[in-house]
Amino acid sequence: MHGMSLMGVRASQEGGGLVAILVEEDGPRMVAVPVSARDALTLSSGEGTASSTWSALLTSTLHAVGAQLRGLVLDVDADGALSTGVRVVAADGGEHLVPCCPAEALILAYERRARLRASSALLRLRAVDLTGETVQEQVARLRSALDAGPGGLGP
């Protein structure tokens, strides 16, 4: 699992929707997670620990029964769709992964300062490598290879 940090909320180019931008803590990758306008407001409010009442209620309820929020998990299912869950440690020490929607996971991580972890499968299928070659660099490399003549096209 890879630690992720919320960097902000932006409008996506496709369809004009909103996405939360998550960046890998110790790496070059980022993931865009679709969110609603309401969730985007919560995630960009700057209030952090108390902007939604349901997250406070959830963590208070967990503490009342001796359980605790251990973190949030971002993963992909068998079809490659985004799946998320809340890692909860029960009073007896048993760990449970409670499914939730992606926006709920992001809000809990943001408001409760909980760890947000992404699976390797999610990063492999959905991440953008920020250190990768840009489109402009790819075009320049191909142009240079074509200018070099036959045999100039390499990996």
Tokens representing 123 are: 């990063």
Q: Which CATH architecture has domain 2-147?
A: Roll (3.10)
Q: What is the tens place of the pLDDT at every residue in 85-117?
A: 999 999 999 999 999 999 999 999 988 889 999
> For 123-131, what is the mean pLDDT?
82
How many angstroms separate the CA atoms of 49 and 41, rounded? 14
> Torsion over CA of 125, 110, 7 and 87, rounded to 10 degrees?
-20
- What is the DSSP secondary structure assignment for residue 93, as one 8-state letter? S
How many angstroms separate the CA atoms of 64 and 66, rounded? 6
What is the pLDDT confidence band of residue 140, given thresholds at 50, 70 and 90? confident
* pLDDT, position 144: 77
Handedness of CA 25, 27, 30, 33 (dihedral sign): negative
Please, what is the angle between helix 53-64 and helix 102-111, to 10°?
80
**Its pTM surpasses 0.85:** no
